[in-house]
Amino acid sequence: MITQKMKYALKALLVLADEAAKATPEPLTIEEIARRSGTPKRFLEHILLEIRNAGVISSIRGRLGGYSLLKKPQDISISEMLRLIEGPIAPLPCLSRRAYQRCEDCTDEAACRIRKVFAEVFWSYLVIIDSLTLADMLTAGGDIDAALPQMSAGA
């Protein structure tokens, strides 16, 4: 599950991508990004700073300043944004590619059945999430409820 912070980051990036697609794009202020994305301004400042420091967006100071995309939407990886905003995305520390840690209670990682089952699920997830970009989100549409299997209320 992604956090609210990640949702705000994605909404802000989508707003910036929509602006970048215009014939004459302009930098957007935090206030304008918040308004267009329906995101609280007070959360955006920190989020945009993290994204800017990662080299995905730029900021310009001054009266005509604001934020704009530095990268093309097809070059902005959703999995990289997840890692940037939320940290490691592996369900177990022993499965993380970038923040690997041996599980404290594990005596034999190679024989661990919990690790094996979650590794299969996680690698399948990675194949999909690593292929997604901001451009995919820009073109997403349709009826999501029709595409999802019917789930129980506890899902």
Whether 95 and 69 map to the same domain: the answer is: no
pLDDT at residue 99 in the model: 85
Whether 4 contacts 12, CB under 8 Å: no
Which residues share a beta bridge with 58? 68
Say which DSSP state 28 is in.
B
Q: pTM for the complete prediction?
A: 0.83
Q: Is residue 150 part of a domain?
A: no
Whether 16 and 60 map to the same domain: the answer is: yes
Q: How many domains does the chain have?
A: 2
Q: Is residue 128 part of a domain?
A: yes
Q: Domain with 30 in it: what CATH number?
A: 1.10.10.10
CA distances from 8 to 18, 62, 80, 112, 151 (A): 15, 24, 15, 37, 26
As a whole number, the mean pLDDT across the chain is 88
Q: Is residue 111 part of a domain?
A: yes
Whether 59 and 102 map to the same domain: the answer is: no
Which of 48-52, 100-104, 144-148 shows the lowest per-residue confidence on average (mean pLDDT)? 144-148
pLDDT at residue 65 in the model: 85
What residues make up the domain containing 123? Answer: 89-140
Whether 18 and 54 map to the same domain: the answer is: yes
107 confidence band (pLDDT: 50, 70, 90):
confident
CA distances from 4 to 77, 82, 135, 143 (A): 18, 12, 21, 22
Other Cβ atoms within 10 Å of 94 Cβ, number? 17
